[in-house]
Amino acid sequence: MRKLKLNYKYQQWLWGYIFIFIYYLPVISMMAAVSMLWKWLLSPNHGLVNLILGFFGLPKVNWLLDPRWAMPGLILMSIWKGTGFNMVIFLAGLQGIPKVYYEAAKIDGANRWQRFRYITLPLLSPTTFFVIITTMIHSFQIFQQAYIVTEGGPREATTTIVYYIYKNAFEWFNMGYACAQAVFLLVILLLATLIQMKFQRRWVFYG
């Protein structure tokens, strides 16, 4: 019986790591290769995404050539790539919550939802804040997706600010204008971060 239980625990542990490995796989692959891969996956007739959509009976989407769908395609790809990283951060945050709090709350008769709402959420708020800030900053700086997958996209639908700066600097050689834009982007990012920091006092709880 005891051996069986041990075996069960081991299986649980093993499957946990298999899931972490699968979820983290996109993070450790480099963005340029992932972009090339997704350019292929999102191709209208032979792409895997459209094949799966077809499998569920949904209409084909002309991902990278339709101005309405180019950006959703890039977003899909960025989510696919970013999930694992943020998952590991959340995992660390969850493991950092001491078990004592839950035991105390159980003794006080808190149910599952209350324990989630009043222990997990507040103690996880610094992690959530970190994830929000880093994801925001990385999203502002999206470049490789636009550069490799769509090259600014159909009718500039996916020209992000960093890609525009790159084009100004190295394609049209407006170096001064590009540098001014880069500085402006830095200011905007700092402002956005400052605003987030101002609001964090309302909801981030440092235990």
Partner 1 sequence: MDRIHPAWKVIAYVIAISIAISMILPFLWMVSTSLKDNNQIFMIPPQWIPKPVHWENYKKVFELLNFGRYYLNTIIVTAGRMVGMFFVCTMAGYAFARLKFPGRDLVVLSMFS
User: Which positions lie near partner 1, rule CB under 8 A?
Assistant: 19, 22-23, 25-26, 29, 37-38, 40-41, 45-46, 48, 51, 80, 83-84, 111-112, 133-134, 137, 141, 186, 189-190, 193-194, 197
CB of 41 or CB of 70, closer to partner 1: 41
Least CB distance to partner 1 at residue 111 (A): 6
Q: Which is nearer to partner 1, 84 or 153 (CB)?
A: 84
Contact call for residues 90 and 83 (beta carbons, < 8 A): no
User: Rounded to the nearest whole angstrom, what is the least distance from the CB of residue 48 to partner 1 in the complex?
Assistant: 5
Q: Look up residue 92 and give its two tokens.
A: 């660390």
Question: Of 3 and 5, which CB lies nearer to partner 1 in the complex structure?
Answer: 5
Which residues make Cβ contacts (< 8 Å) with residue 86, sequence separation at least 6?
131, 135
Burial 64-87 (b: 16+ CB within 10 A, else e): bebeebbbebbebbbeebbebbbb
Pick the closest to residue 124 from 151, 82, 146, 93 (CA basis).
Answer: 93
CA 133 to CA 194: how far, in whole Å?
10
CB of 37 to partner 1, least distance (A): 6
As measured in angstroms, the least distance from the Cβ of 155 to partner 1 is 27
DSSP assignment letter at 159: -
Instruction: Closer to partner 1 by CB, 67 or 96: give it.
Output: 96
